[in-house]
Structure 1
């Protein structure tokens, strides 16, 4: 039959297909964290704690010592008989010599890497105890931090009014709009072991519907490092900000490294509300450190915007940035504020203060309380953000207008000087000097556009001379 003789179109060989697949790079390769921090990170820590990254740095330094060890300068004989005479060569130089790197690697606790490529380092693995020490060393303090002199974290200003604003009732959470069935649906979606599923299904129910520019899982690579060290960039699971076009172009040019987290188009700027979520198997300590780092970066940007164009920076202690963590139904809300440097020109202190915590899957009343506070915190952060953006934009426009007026004055003065110089040079485009009839030799008079010629029988008309003074 004709149908039995239909042949398929020839395809590429299986070998070529496999080769192409091996050449393809995973789409997440650009988001892979570095294997470890730089040596400067470890050299500046006042105390190093035993973590996987610390052990990795120890292995790296041992490997460098093995490769840089000088070899013996002795001459190797070509005659094996002479080489083995009197017991063979002197091996005293090998005392204390470490194992080869390959042997040490096989004895370490790490599993061998696969042939497909380097092992991927999880983002959260960077936020260990040593990273927290690194933050404290640069005046970024986590919650409940106690200073070496016994001082506790300073309280932010205006906490009483903030608590009232956070507890303001939300119509979207009233019994008529958020019922028991809606709460049961939330609990069902909250039962997951995947952080991605949690962010897609459960977190939006807590956040509610709000017309606020937001994004998530964006590397804040465009922000200047707060510690002067290339460690990790913040990667919030969720954050609120302003549209990029809301900030004046001059303000953005001057403060972009502090308020613009990414060069990608459409990413919100001036972020000052963050959320970090963790699956049940995740580490709550890592979530707290991530929220601390997020909030510090947001506070720095808000403070730069608040003081842009002002003669002296203001440290009012009011929290303008908020962060939150969520894991296994447990929601925590934090406020972030700044304190003035201990010395002129020093680094400000970035502090993290816990506001409250709620068991979101406990009962519907607890859910309403937590969701109310979180949604109100987003609105409060937006009001602060919009106000500081508008103030900075107004100051930038005033500076441009002042510069424009100054340039206009300079231009007018230059034009006036040019006209005076033209008059002094006798330019025909200006008033000309015409001697009157009957004037004596050497005396001149100026007439501007005479209506009709006339004779002077007595003396020259008294006018201002146009030539240079004699």
Structure 2
């Protein structure tokens, strides 16, 4: 038996003396580099539209445009396969037709008696071939191809331009997007349940145990939305902006900033970033999540080891300076958009966020723990209507399956109704955003403690308490060994959507985190935020041993 072995590292591609000297002087790559490259995550493949197995595995098939398009695709494939089989049969029939043989070979196969008859007929002039004069022979394959080409010409000629344009428009409209009833049925089949879902036997999925706690936090008043700060004139400006926004992009650019107010740390927010780096939520047949807006934590807040181990569940994008551990989402639709589509998109986004949050909450835990609490919040906005939801994991129905995800409505507001309703809705939105940040910072601190490191404080961090009374860009926090001193921001409403900047541009001013000391002693972090002469925030981090 011959055993094939790889050549030594320094003897590969030694075709010349110069290459021999250069390669022999190189040392093999260090084991750490090999381990690093081998641990790199394999790129996930997200389909643009559901593949065939998406439809094959549905428990219930709804009559949607995507279902009809899949039916057309399968019918076209059957017709194409049938045509291929017919062509193959015709080719085989053509091959069986005997080709004309040379006359000398044909005469050589005749018996003496037959040959004598042929000679006698030839002396008499031979048979009369007048009926065959001018006849053109053709094979079955050429006849079939000519018939098909003529049929194709007739079909193309009979097709009206309006019909062709209608077909083209049908395949490009947003109504044929992937978020249809089949999409929701697929999520239900994988234990991701929308709001007010009921099991076939009439049971209802458990509601989050902290539902009232969240609603109480959302209902806290905010000083920036008091009548003295947010006047009726500002409300009328909001009404005009909402009435004039006829497209989704206009709603995002002109309306949403009035609801958001001061977003605080802009490194913790990104918009319209596809979640292509997250592991598949179900069986790999869904498009990646793509919320219009999401809030998460700065990557440097979480220990690098934890980020590496949980990267497929908490890091949404391959651009690793964008926010991680997202747990606050927003889906926006224009006046002509579909509220049902927005809700399905939010259900999907929040399920991805709740799965990642549960992963980091259970990091290095002895076993998976289900506390039946929600830590993920999402909102939909369309035509003046703001709806808020919570999402939380539940125990799997079967021990071999993944945990389920349940979506529950928190509150709903008609923001264009009157100033008081707007103040309540905008306060609930901002309070929900702050509450989600509080939960996010707490779970990140817990994960860092489990790795033996203390969580580095992030600018504007309010992990241990959130003030719902003001819209200051930062809040004051005091904890053991850690103190954050901030200046209250103004009540002006900065716009995150002043221009059509991409998600990548939101992080152009990203600075790498200050390296932590290798000393085993714990460190304390003091963050001081001030204002420069140009009113640009400046962050100074001072590290010192406690």
Match of 1:49 in 2: 62
The alpha carbon displacement at 1:263 in A equals 1.1
The alpha carbon displacement at 1:119 in A equals 6.2
The alignment status of 1:155 with 2:174, answered yes or no, reads no
Question: For 1:155-180, what per-residue CA distance to the aligned partner results, in whole angstroms no more than 9, with x for missing partners?
Answer: 11022222211111111111111011
Query: What's the TM-score once normalised by structure 2's chain length?
Result: 0.60
Contact 2:270 2:293 in 1 (8 A): yes
CA distance in 1, matches of 2:453, 2:397: 33
Contact 1:36 1:56 in 2 (8 A): no
Distance verdict in 2 for CA 1:122–1:222, change over 3 Å: farther
Contact 2:66 2:176 in 1 (8 A): no
Match of 2:429 in 1: 374
The alignment status of 1:253 with 2:308, answered yes or no, reads yes
Contact 2:333 2:339 in 1 (8 A): yes
The alignment status of 1:74 with 2:129, answered yes or no, reads no
The alpha carbon displacement at 1:389 in A equals 0.6
Question: For 1:448-467, what per-residue CA distance to the aligned partner results, in whole angstroms no more than 9, with x for missing partners?
Answer: xxxxxxxxxxxxxxxxxxxx
Describe how 1:225-374 pairs up with structure 2 within 5 A.
225-374=280-429
The alignment status of 1:189 with 2:241, answered yes or no, reads yes
Gaps of 5+ in 1: 1-32, 92-98, 406-470
Match of 2:222 in 1: 170
Contact 2:221 2:424 in 1 (8 A): no
Gaps of 5+ in 2: 1-45, 101-131, 144-150, 455-518, 521-546
Say which of 255, 259, 282 aligns to 1:202.
Answer: 255
Distance verdict in 2 for CA 1:300–1:124, change over 3 Å: farther
Q: How many residues were matched structurally?
A: 357
Matched residue SS, 1:111: helix
315-324 vs 150-159, which moves further = 150-159
Which has the higher Rg, Structure 1 or Structure 2? 1
Contact 2:380 2:387 in 1 (8 A): yes
Question: For 1:287-308, what per-residue CA distance to the aligned partner results, in whole angstroms no more than 9, with x for missing partners?
Answer: 0001100110000010001000
The alpha carbon displacement at 1:113 in A equals 4.3
CA distance in 1, matches of 2:196, 2:59: 20
**Greater relative contact order (Cα < 8 A, sep 6+):** 2
Question: For 1:243-293, what per-residue CA distance to the aligned partner results, in whole angstroms no more than 9, with x for missing partners?
Answer: 111111110111000000001143110000001010000000000001100
The alpha carbon displacement at 1:123 in A equals 9.0
Contact 2:248 2:332 in 1 (8 A): yes
The alpha carbon displacement at 1:345 in A equals 3.6
Say which of 175, 199, 217 aligns to 2:272.
Answer: 217
Contact 1:220 1:235 in 2 (8 A): yes
RMSD of equivalent CA atoms: 3.3
The alignment status of 1:125 with 2:177, answered yes or no, reads yes
Matched residue SS, 1:40: helix
Query: What's the TM-score once normalised by structure 1's chain length?
Result: 0.70
Matched residue SS, 1:272: strand
41-50 vs 254-263, which moves further = 41-50
Say which of 438, 449, 468 aligns to 1:383.
Answer: 438
CA distance in 1, matches of 2:271, 2:400: 34
